[in-house]
Amino acid sequence: MKVNSQVFRAYDIRGIVNEELSDELVKKLGKAIGTLLRRNNSDALNVCRDGRLSSPHISELFTEGVLSTGCNVYNLDLGPTPLLYFSTFKTSIRNGVMITGSHNPKNYNGFKIVVNQKPLSGESITEIKNLIENEDFICGEGKEQKTPLLENYQTEIKSKINLKRTLKIVLDCGNGAGGLVAPKLFKDLGIELIELYGEVDGNFPNHHPDPSNPENLKDLIVKVRENKAHLGIALDGDADRLGVVDNKGNIIFPDQYMSLIADQILKNNSGRKIVFDVKCSSRLKESISKSKGVPIMTRTGHSFIKEEILKQNAILGGEMSGHIFFNDDWYGFDDGIYSALRLIEIIAQSEDSSAEMFSKFPQLFTTPEINLHTTDERKFEIIKKLKKEFEFNDYEKVLIDGIRIENEESWGLARASNTSPSLVFRFEGESKEALKKIIAVFQKALFTIDDKLEIKLN
């Protein structure tokens, strides 16, 4: 079987349902993963699905494929991605697959794969693709078993969070899978909750479930201001990422709230390492060092962050898209629900407002993530040319992931997206002039490659 290579991405498998993700491919993907596990002396897999309209059907087909290899399936049913990760730590089964389109449009779906508690990426994803193309599958007869774990997940989180005062929180679940869990958890912990879009609905009728896009936080901002709430929290479609709005309705980007979290966590963990991705502010690196931590910059992508956390024995990790990984009193996986509650716990410890607490870690002049649509082939060609054909004099190059150039007054990043056919940019400067200058440096290079490659700011 010849498969579309674009479906097999850097750290997951994702595509348009019924076009890139056909029924045949989904079933054979189950066969490939079942085969991979059995050839690695394992015979069991936890499976969970998000609230997308296509997820029940995909889950059924995928499970059928897995069972046909003799690998057993423990079905967690509907839930957020953190529930799947949790299951690999709290059951005897260390492998799992989450069926989710994450923050992609509603006609997408995909698979996040965990083997022995570690996310599959790179060569392992390619190995699965090769098994499918060669139809190199083991035959057997596995068994399926329902494994409800939502209550265990909620109970453990409640045991970890201690709020010193009652806070009024607006929570926007974006009609994603987090609505199944988060509102009840927040209320059980004594939070005065104002709920937005908690009903799980794969049509996403209110807004796109991606809190990294400021456009999707408009309703949350309005509700925070209307209700004079202490904080606003937004979850993405599968609840492994979070967006944050302070009590004044200001969007707090992940590298800014990471600074606050890092400062708190390092008070009792001096000298520990904290991992963050190349899209994060230079101020995050500075604040980690100031709080007596060791900053580690790495590639963008939840799999790469997790790998680096394990490699460095880091206590905390995070990336600009809102994936936050607590590895002190949690399990080192990205969990938007738990991370939101840890942030709320920090804010509840102080009588200061959330805006006052975040202001201790001020932002520079910065852009949100800027996406420039292209093709999967072209995006890599452009990054390769930026790396090889331009000197970027007066700037230091960082080539961990794409190209980041920086000096004392600004930095800029261009990289190929891991999840879509686009280029991703981010810029930061000590002043408006410095910000404009770094954008102009990249724009000049891009126009040299192709005069249609324009960085468009909202």
Query: In this predicted model, what pLDDT tens digit does every residue of 357-381 receive, in sequence order?
Result: 999 998 899 998 899 999 988 999 9
Query: In this predicted model, what pLDDT tens digit does every residue of 84-141 receive, in sequence order?
Result: 999 999 999 999 999 999 988 999 999 999 999 999 877 889 999 999 999 999 999 9
Whether 28 is in a domain gets the answer: yes
Mean pLDDT of 235-262: 97
Query: In this predicted model, what pLDDT tens digit does every residue of 324-366 receive, in sequence order?
Result: 999 999 999 999 999 999 999 999 999 999 999 999 998 899 9
Residue 458 has pLDDT above 70, yes or no: no
Q: Which of 313, 336, 359 is the last residue of a domain?
A: 359
Cα distance between residue 394 and residue 107, in whole Å: 45
Domain count, the chain: 3
Report pLDDT for 4: 81
Mean pLDDT of 26-46: 97
Residue 303 has pLDDT above 90, yes or no: no
Query: Are residues 183 and 329 part of one domain?
Result: yes
Q: Percentage of the chain surpassing pLDDT 70?
A: 100
Query: Are residues 310 and 206 part of one domain?
Result: yes
Q: Which of 121, 149, 177 is the last residue of a domain?
A: 149
Tell me the catalytic residues. 102
Query: Are residues 349 and 225 part of one domain?
Result: yes
Domain that holds residue 370: 365-449
C-beta of residue 420 within 8 angstroms of C-beta of residue 412: no
Mean pLDDT of 211-221: 95
Q: How confident is the model at residue 423 (pLDDT cuts 50, 70, 90)?
A: very high
Cα distance between residue 55 and residue 455, in whole Å: 35
Query: Are residues 301 and 186 part of one domain?
Result: yes
Mean pLDDT of 288-316: 95
Q: Which of 118, 149, 180 is the last residue of a domain?
A: 149
Q: How confident is the model at residue 6 (pLDDT cuts 50, 70, 90)?
A: confident
Query: Are residues 120 and 63 part of one domain?
Result: yes
Query: Are residues 249 and 123 part of one domain?
Result: no
What CATH number is attached to the domain comprising 74? 3.40.120.10
Query: In this predicted model, what pLDDT tens digit does every residue of 155-171 receive, in sequence order?
Result: 999 999 999 999 999 99
Query: Are residues 391 and 319 part of one domain?
Result: no
Rounded to the nearest integer, the mean pLDDT of the chain is 95
Whether 160 is in a domain gets the answer: no
Query: Are residues 323 and 188 part of one domain?
Result: yes
Query: Are residues 315 and 251 part of one domain?
Result: yes
Mean pLDDT of 196-223: 96
Whether 277 is in a domain gets the answer: yes
For the question of whether the overall pTM of this predicted structure is more than 0.85, the answer is yes
